[in-house]
Amino acid sequence: MTNLASEITTRDIEKEPMPLTINENIPHIIKYMGSKRKIIDYVIEGINYCYSGGTVVDLFAGSSVLAGALRNQVPFLSNDIQKYSSILAKSYLGDYKWGEYPNILNEIIEKATNKVNYVKERYPDISFDYNVEFTLDQFNELEKKQQALIERDFSEIEYHLFLKNYSGTYWSAEQCLWIDSIRGVADEYKDLDLFYPIIASLMFAMSYNSQSTGHYAQYRDATNEKNMNDILIYRRKEIVPYFMRKFTEFQNVLGENNQPNNVLSKDYMECLGDIENNSTVYADPPYCFVHYSRFYHVIETLVRYDYPEVKYKGRYRTDRHQSPFCIRTKVKGAFQDMFDMINKKESNLVLSYSNTGMIELDELIELARNTFADNYHIEVRYLDYLHSTMGRREDKSRDVQECLILVKRK
């Protein structure tokens, strides 16, 4: 009897996996449009409905908050074509043994300080003081002098990308110098899991020192004294305290991770072609016409650190990714391709979408029903949600209806 009961219990466990729960401590890293952090419980309820074992796949990982929420619970694959997302995912999913690096934070700051001092000794004229009283004209003149550094030759300094390309834009020259220096230190640890929380902590510091509205579509100009004084708040901040605060949080809340995981930077269809059958795919594609590569090009450049050609006022990369989910003539075909591949892989799907998307919800639901047909149960759930537009003047947030389309194999 005992053996039979044991077999039944084992079969039941294999049939019905333990419910996934939300890790209580998910470090917040960057301000991110469309992040599911505030409704992560709603998302995980949907995943629990569909999950039948195997790997959870975050197909459009973005800020990778799902990796943080589910770390160390389940085999996990995080994917996003933007490389900055892979840094965020690997930071959340890392297997950390902090005791092996008892003085690591001080070591990082000391090395970065040495790099900063070296540049200042080589270029003593690069000194811009914001801790004085300004007229509007004086302030804008100081900004323009820094923006002109894009014409300067810094080739004798190994890490100078931000100092050259972004001084006086989203950050001051001083802030850019620290960004470059910490980024240079990070590469000294690139063969260790430590590399990822160093870069992620730097992203956090950049986000909260930037004078833009939380993304990097454009930096603000001081057109009047009110704008100037608001920008000055950010110009007078320092990168290092924010970096240290976030890195310390990683040390305090993220430890060992024993679950298998993988992080990719692939097109969504290429990723789906690689997944195992019986995976559960969470898909949160872009909803609107604005490409994420426009909003987060700077942290993409931080990760690649490839000295790209930059153009226009926003100093965008010229090789920014364009998603078919942001193009009205392509969005339906993009969903059809995704549905067909998940069906082929005999996997489950949890799809997040909104009533403000590029395709009508009713049309999207009908497309799912026609594709998955008799092999799947399909359930649709709705949640009213106040969505942040990340600082647009007239509507900083708007009411949306968040939809989960749950597609589970019978």
Output the domain CATH number for residue 343.
3.40.50.150
* pLDDT confidence of residue 292: 58
* pLDDT confidence of residue 298: 92
Contact 94, 193 (CB under 8 A): yes
Residue 57 sits in the same domain as residue 173: no
Task: Tell me if 247 is assigned to some domain.
Answer: yes
Task: Count structural domains, the chain.
Answer: 2
Residue 265 sits in the same domain as residue 348: yes
| φ/ψ bin of 3: left (φ > 0), alpha (ψ from -120 to 50), beta (otherwise) | alpha
Tens-place pLDDT, residues 156-181: 999 999 999 999 999 999 999 999 99
DSSP state of 333: H
Residue 140 sits in the same domain as residue 281: no
Residue 111 sits in the same domain as residue 197: yes
Contact 197, 252 (CB under 8 A): no
Task: Tell me if 300 is assigned to some domain.
Answer: no
* pLDDT confidence of residue 390: 47
* Range of the structural domain that residue 119 is part of: 101-253
State whether residue 78 is helix, strand or coil.
strand
Task: Tell me if 318 is assigned to some domain.
Answer: no
Task: Tell me if 51 is assigned to some domain.
Answer: yes
Residue 179 sits in the same domain as residue 279: no
Residue 169 sits in the same domain as residue 68: no
Residue 71 sits in the same domain as residue 194: no
DSSP state of 148: G
Residue 197 sits in the same domain as residue 264: no
Task: Tell me if 111 is assigned to some domain.
Answer: yes
Residue numbers in the chain where pLDDT is lower than 70? 1-15, 289-294, 386-398
Residue 214 sits in the same domain as residue 334: no
* pLDDT confidence of residue 399: 74
DSSP state of 220: P
Tens-place pLDDT, residues 374-410: 899 999 999 987 655 544 444 445 578 899 999 999 9
Angle of helix 239-253 relative to helix 195-209, nearest 10 degrees?
140
Give the dihedral sign, CA 82/84/86/89: negative
CA 126 – CA 36 distance, rounded (Å): 41
